[in-house]
Amino acid sequence: MSLPETPAADWIDTLDALQAWLAAIPAHAAVGLDTEFMRRNTFYPQLALLQLGWNGRYALVDPLAFDIGAALQPLLGADPAVTIMHSASEDLETLSPLLPDGPRTLFDTQIAAAFVGMGLGISYRALVAELAGDELDKGETRSDWLQRPLTASQRSYAALDVVYLKTIHEQLNERLRQRDRSAWHAEDCARLKQRASHRDGDPQPQRALRGAAEWSPERQALLRRLLLWRDRSARRLDVPRPWLLDDNLALNLAELPPTHLADLEQRSRGQRALRSAQRSELFELIAPTVSAEEIAATAKIPAHPQGAAKKALGEMKQLVDTRAGELDLPPGLLCPRKVLEEYVVTAEWPDFLEGWRREVLHDDLPGLLPG
């Protein structure tokens, strides 16, 4: 295992320089892309650096110095270029203000590695070691990327994040072709882009709090009301959701609503972003009786499988494991356990299992639902 040499990378902090760098890239190129971002005290990730790689050329683009979106859109958002990224979900979210629909064609190397038998969720560092034989340093993983100027170590670390994407892409793309998995991989990459482009939040956030599954419809609807308020307020104030209302407090307030503002103030101590204005707003939000319309609009929280459902879940998991083994895929890529848990309780075919997964599982999985 060898240590990589520090690559030469252009530092770009003007629009003209970025446009000139991009001008040499043909429309059908495969371009490596990565980001560094910070998300410690905010709702929205703060883009701190953009890394690009193509044909042995590398660029570190400073988004704090100028608006980079107008230059990126023609190549990555519109032209038929392939954008190579590793574990792209958070990067796509970070880039969404600049590329609202994401790159036109995404090749996610982590997803590709799962399809070719390298395991689920493999790291970029492990991929580089396996496919390029180099050992990457992890020293700048938790670095402050908003500081200026960046250190030489930061610049080297950031550039190496795109240096190997070309060779990784070439090898994984060939393995996908050999296994006839290219279409499945493209479908999962398109789904990843679609999820990242949904910036309005989950319209049914209460479904994630399984502890309230046995609550009455009225209480579940009130919980949804609180969580939707939390999401709207966190976006407006640009603070992390739990700083306004953590899950435990949301459950507590929905189960036993405060009868006066002082009660809410007492119970919500420690919420870092819940100031007096937000407490008053929250108290006014909780007070109205839940309407029939709200109840009808609230999706029921799926319960944990019990009894016959729990037995059926085991049979479904065995089926998924068997099919995954036949296809040489990680079972979690074919169908995560949490998807099965919800399906066995609701009997509603999950969106996650549409596309190629439906072809693999739909003939047999519904027959295992408890009667």
Alpha-carbon separation of residue 79 from 10, 39, 182 (angstroms):
23, 30, 20
What homologous superfamily does CATH list for 10-197? Ribonuclease H-like superfamily/Ribonuclease H (3.30.420.10)
pLDDT value at position 301?
A: 96
pLDDT at 75: 87
Phi, psi of 120, deg, nearest 5: -90, 130
Q: Specify the DSSP class assigned to residue 289.
A: P
Q: What is the mean pLDDT of residues 329-340?
A: 97
Reported as a single tens digit per residue, the pLDDT across 146-173 is: 999 999 999 999 999 999 999 999 999 9
Is the predicted pLDDT of residue 1 greater than 60, yes or no?
A: no
- Helix then strand then coil, % of the chain, to nearest 5: 55, 10, 35
Q: pTM for this structure?
A: 0.93
Q: How confident is the model at residue 339, as a pLDDT?
A: 97
CA 272/CA 27 separation, integer angstroms: 48
Question: Does the pLDDT value for residue 300 go beyond 70?
Answer: yes
pLDDT tier at 2 (50, 70, 90 boundaries)? low
- Please state the separation of Cα 356 from the chain's center in Å: 21
pLDDT of res. 23: 94
Question: Domain 205-297 is in which class?
Answer: mainly alpha
At 371 the pLDDT is 80
Express each pLDDT in 40-61 by its tens digit: 899 999 999 999 999 999 999 9
Averaged pLDDT score across all residues of the chain = 95
Average pLDDT over residues 301-307: 94
Question: Which pLDDT tens digit goes with each residue over 106-120?
Answer: 999 999 999 999 999
Q: Tell me the pairing of strands 10-12 and 57-61.
A: parallel
Give the pLDDT band of residue 140 (cuts 50, 70, 90).
confident
pLDDT in tens, 53-102: 999 999 999 999 999 998 998 988 877 899 999 999 999 999 999 998 89
pLDDT in tens, 116-135: 999 999 999 999 999 999 99
Least confident of 40-54, 68-82, 205-219, 256-270: 68-82
Beta carbons within 10 angstroms of residue 229's beta carbon: 18
* Partner residues linked to 59 by β-bridges: 10, 52
The residue extents of the domains of the chain are 10-197, 205-297, 307-368
Alpha carbons within 13 angstroms on the beta-carbon side of residue 219 total 16
Tallying the residues shown for the chain, one arrives at 371
Over pLDDT 90: what percentage of the chain?
Answer: 90
State the average pLDDT over residues 204-220. 97
